Structure 1
Amino acid sequence: MSSSSPAVLRPGVRKREVFGWAMYDFANSGYTTVVITAVFAAYFVGGVAQGAPWATFAWTLALSISYALVMLTMPAIGAWADRHGAKKKVLMSTTAACVAGTAALALTPQFQGSTAVALAMLLVVLSNTFYSYGESLTGAFLPELATAEGMGKVSGWGWALGYVGGMLTLGVCLAYVLWAQGRGLPAAHFVPVTLLITAAVYALAACVTFSLLPERAQPQQQAAPSAWRQLQQTFGRARAHRDFMWLLACTVCYQGGVAVAITLAAIYAEQVIGFVPSETMVLIFVLNLAAAGGAFAFGYLQDALGHRPALAASLVVWVAVCVIAAMVTTKGGFWWAAALAGLAMGASQSAGRAMTGVLAPPAQLAEFFGLWTFATRLASIIGPLSYGAITWMTGGNQRIAILCTTVLFIAGMLLLLPLNMARGRQAALVNAGT
């Protein structure tokens, strides 16, 4: 990659640092791919909860609790990291906690009934909360590495490598699952092994990040307010950045739709289209492959065409995905929808993170990325819960629910209209005193 260009990286930033930063996306992607999307979600419903009518609700409730915790606490954690120049230290701590929580999920098959359900929900809440902390903190390093003009490219490199990590982890897990199933081993045996594989990949890859990525921020001597007070102050400061606020509103909408794809794609494929679990894992693998390509290609596209047009283009693709998924009746047709979803997912997530880096004041990077995490976690509650409510109100018709998801992407496009990236960047620099 031609990352040595001054137009892409900030002065003094080396390629190895960018690689180290991108390796964190590689590290943590296996968690969402295996735990949240492809393996443990289905096992929780069918294995831990034994297919009870409330099982899917319990799963979404655990995720919603974790997202709510992140929404309320991440701005304060980000601000603390900014003040103490300790983003890397906090990232290391949250990574260790997520890895431990993921590995601990392997213990759930040893329990039965309500004890197993409660333990699994608790560990999902904890691991997903710490995963989300790490996602926000690693995003806060981006503006220290890339220039405003190159932020899209560097963000795209990270997302692309992240999807490679997700595919690698899922691929190893799939190979083991096929081996175990060929020998007649039950899910209670092979699912815990996939969780241990995921935790191991996360830990080992994150060590590359911690060894290559330096902490450039300097401590700031300020008194630390309470978490609630910090959240209020952060929103107060962000209100002076109207383009950043438009981006947050846009993020809540379109990321709500993306959350539907991440958390419910496997369920839709199996219950509506008729996929079997092994086919679903292959489907998610290919979706990650397409997402890696989308993140990498759109990283260059958004720097060439502009962040806002590139994000808008990805949202148009998302609308097409929802319409196709709602209409197709064959596995082959759904494969096309999944491939497009992968391209759109990598593009939209990369663009959103890069735009946040451009619009955030340099002295409050972790704090403003905390607000971005707040928006994405709020979206992760709104999107799937809306999908579930529509499914329930229509008597289990998931086709109507996925079609209604287009509303979230269309709303995101409309909220992009008043956003001005040049004006927002200028405001960030002026308020930073530069």
Structure 2
Amino acid sequence: MTASSTALSTKRRIWGWFFFDWASQPFATLLLTFIFAPYVKELMGSGAAAQAAWGWGVGLAGIVIALMAPILGAAADSSGRRMRWIWLFSLMYVVGSAGLWMAAPDSFNLTLTLVFFAIGLFGMEFATIFTNAMLPDLGTKEEIGRISGNGWAFGYLGGLITLIIMLVFLAENAETGKTMLGLSPAFGLLDGAAREGTRAVGPLTAIWFAVFMIPFFLWVRDARPASGQSITMTQALGRVKTTVRNLPQTPSRFAYLGSSMFYRDGLNGIYAFGGIYAAGVLGWSVPQVGQFAILAIISGAVFAVIGGRMDQRLGPRPVIAFCILVLLAVSVSIVFISREGVLGLAVSETSKLPDIAFYVIGILIGAAGGVVQSASRTMMVRQADPAHMTEAFGLYALAGKATGFIAPLSIGIVTSISGSQQIGITPLIVLFLLGFVLLFWVKPEGDRAEWDASSQP
């Protein structure tokens, strides 16, 4: 194979890998945060009740993901096969997303809705474990920060396009039955009174994923051939138990998994409840939440590229630390933004200042959130044993989900007890603080000495 053909093959694999972010991002953008979650709030009527129910549903799904992620990663590492797992979880993504069409106003079933949502969430989260494990195969240690940032930015762009499609052509205002531009949903093909335009967010997310995963499956291959030494789930569980038991012997990775466990949980809490919070506290409609999302996504895409280059220049650790501080400030600020006041300043009921303040919050969430997630997966590559990369990203997912139920469940519990969405958000502050403190024990290059020693004959 010539040098030019090798370069073309590498470039094609990188672009194929980018397309997973492009294809999967709408689940987080449209379903988890900006369109479907506020729609559930509208159906339930009470913002506090919707926030509590969403917290329990997402939290319980997170527990299942936490338990299974490292086991599946260990099983995949033993065989060298990742693609077959990605096919399986892609199917779950499509089925779960498409099923949300059934959340009709006149026959809304919260339990069934949360089940379909969980199936799709399982598909997205588990597929992400295996695609993230492919990152170190795409470039050198110095290059993967930029590659990760560009992939995250590309994903944000895909989320932005689907969001614009929803707002312009599909998602209708509950009162008028028209989209943001005053159009009938899908040019009159969908019934606005039955909220078919907004419910179409599920099928749109499923179709988008199915179409744009084609380049991924065409251009991306497992870097190493299958060894044929597959192991059972029981054996995979045993390996994971051994790895977890030995974590204190690799203190940098141990500290990083703990740090990311908390700050990513806090970030997921902001994503999961940002739309519901704006709908309940500020009284925003679905199209208004969508406009907020556009600002956040554009900010995320721009800063993901910038953050990727800073990652390449400085390494991921200082980038992550700065982003955590920004998200901590955002979490504190959110508590003090309502229709009655902004950061302690009383405003009239007709004031636009709360809306403007929350738009600024959205820009900061998008910027810091995109950068910290991109830098986090490059940091995981540096902390991982190269021989067990998929298992490492399974542990990374475990770290993100082991306490992944704490943010949604604690928000749900505190909201239920206080009856206030603003007070209900306060657990996020604690999570970001814990994540920032633990980062001090993380080495920029991880526990390389331990990996190198273990690889010696």
Q: TM-score, normalised by structure 1?
A: 0.90
Kept in 1, the 8 Å contact 2:98–2:202? The answer is: yes
Name the CA distance, whole Å, in 1 between partners of 2:102 and 2:279: 26
Q: Is the 8 A contact 2:327 2:365 kept in 1?
A: yes
- Cα distance in 2 for residues equivalent to 1:387 and 1:194: 25
Match of 2:112 among 111, 116, 119: 119
Asked whether 1:414 is paired with 2:437, we answer yes
Is 1:151–2:147 an aligned residue pair?
A: no
Among 340, 349, 354, the residue aligned to 2:373: 349
Q: For 1:230-245, what aligned pairs fall within 5 Å after superposition?
A: 230-245=239-254
**1:204-252 deviation per Cα after TM superposition (whole angstroms, max 9, x unaligned):** 1111111111211233426435164343133235443221111110011
Q: Which residue pairs with 1:195 in the alignment?
A: 202
8 A Cα contact 2:160 2:297, kept in partner: yes
The verdict on how the C-alpha distance between 1:53 and 1:338 changes in structure 2, with shifts beyond 3 A counting, is: closer
8 Å CA contact 1:362, 1:432 repeated in 2 = no
- Whether 1:214 aligns to 2:217 is no
Cα distance change, pair 149–108 in 1 and its aligned pair in 2 (3 A):
same
Greater displacement, 36-45 / 298-307: 36-45
1:3-52 superposed Cα distances (whole Å, 9 cap, x missing partner): xxxxxxx99961121111011011100011111111222233433x5659
Cα distance, 1:404 vs structure 2? 4.9
Matched, 1:177 2:170: yes
Are 2:63 and 1:68 aligned?
yes
Rounded to whole Å, the distance in 1 between the matches of 2:97 and 2:35 is 13
- Secondary structure class of the residue paired with 2:141: coil
TM-aligned CA distance change 1:12 to 1:198, over 3 Å: closer
Amino acid at match of 1:150: E
One-letter amino acid matched to 1:99: V
The CA deviation at 1:433 is 4.5
Any conservation in 2 of the 1:156–1:298 contact (CA below 8 Å)? yes
**Structure 2: gaps (5+ residues):** 1-5, 185-190, 343-353
Structure 2 Cα separation of the partners of residues 335 and 409 of structure 1: 21
Structure 1 residue 278 displacement after superposition: 1.0
1:323 alignment partner, one of 328, 332, 335: 332
Conserved in 2, the CA contact under 8 Å of 1:238 and 1:245? Answer: yes
Residues 150, 303 of structure 1: 8 Å contact kept: yes
- 2:110 is paired with a residue of what secondary structure? helix
Measure how far apart 1:69 and its partner are: 1.1
Q: Check 1:334–1:223 CA distance in 2 against 1; reply closer, same or farther (3 A cut).
A: closer
1:44 aligns with 2:37: no
Q: Secondary structure at the match of 1:234?
A: helix
Q: 1:71 to 1:32 in 2, by over 3 A?
A: same
Name the CA distance, whole Å, in 1 between partners of 2:14 and 2:137.
10
Q: 1:273–1:118: structure 2 CA closer, same or farther, 3 Å change rule? A: closer
Q: Secondary structure at the match of 2:413?
A: helix
Cα distance in 2 for partners of 1:333, 1:54 equals 25
CA apart distance, 1:159 = 1.0
Deviation of 1:102 after TM superposition, in Å, equals 0.9
How far off is 1:389 after superposition?
Answer: 3.0
**Equivalence map 1:376-391=2 (5 Å):** 376-391=400-415
Deviation string 1:266-310 (CA, Å, 9 cap, x unpaired) is 122122233222110111121111111222111111221122111
Amino acid at match of 1:64: G
1:23 aligns with 2:19: yes
CA distance in 1, matches of 2:75, 2:283: 48
Q: Residue 405 of structure 1: SS of its match in structure 2?
A: helix
* Greater fraction of residues in helix: 1
For 1:224, the equivalent position in structure 2 comes to 232
Alignment partners' CA distance in 1, 2:42 and 2:13: 43
Quick check: 2:95–2:119 contact (8 Å CA) kept in 1?
no
After superposition, the C-alpha distances for 1:81-118 in whole angstroms (9 at most, x for unaligned) are 111221112112211221122112213429726xx223
Query: Is 1:34 matched with 2:57?
Result: no
Measured in 2, the distance between the counterparts of 1:375 and 1:224 equals 23
Opposite residue 250 of structure 1, the aligned amino acid is: S
Structure of higher CA gyration radius: 2
Do the aligned partners of residues 106 and 423 (structure 1) sit closer, same or farther apart at CA in structure 2, a change above 3 Å counting?
closer
The CA distance in 1 between the partners of 2:447 and 2:151, in whole Å, is: 24
Q: Sequence identity, in percent?
A: 26
Shift of 1:126: 1.2
The alignment partner of 2:225 has SS state of coil
1:253–1:408: 8 Å Cα contact kept in structure 2? yes
Does the Cα contact within 8 Å between 1:238 and 1:368 map onto a contact in 2? no
Which deviates more, 378-387 or 205-214?
A: 378-387
Deviates more, 1:22-31 or 1:92-101: 92-101
CA distance in 2, matches of 1:132, 1:369: 11
Aligned equivalents of 2:379, 2:329: Cα separation in 1: 23
Letter in 2 for 1:214: R
Coordinate RMSD, CA, aligned: 2.5
Q: How does 1:51-130 map to 2 (within 5 A)?
A: 54-109=49-104, 112=107, 116-130=109-123
- The offset of 1:74, in angstroms, is 1.3
Q: Match for 1:291: what amino acid?
A: G
Query: In 2, are the aligned partners of 1:274 and 1:331 still within 8 Å (CA)?
Result: no
From 152, 161, 167, the counterpart of 1:168: 161
* Partner SS for 2:140: coil
Kindly state the Cα deviation for residue 177 of structure 1 after the two structures are TM-superposed: 2.8
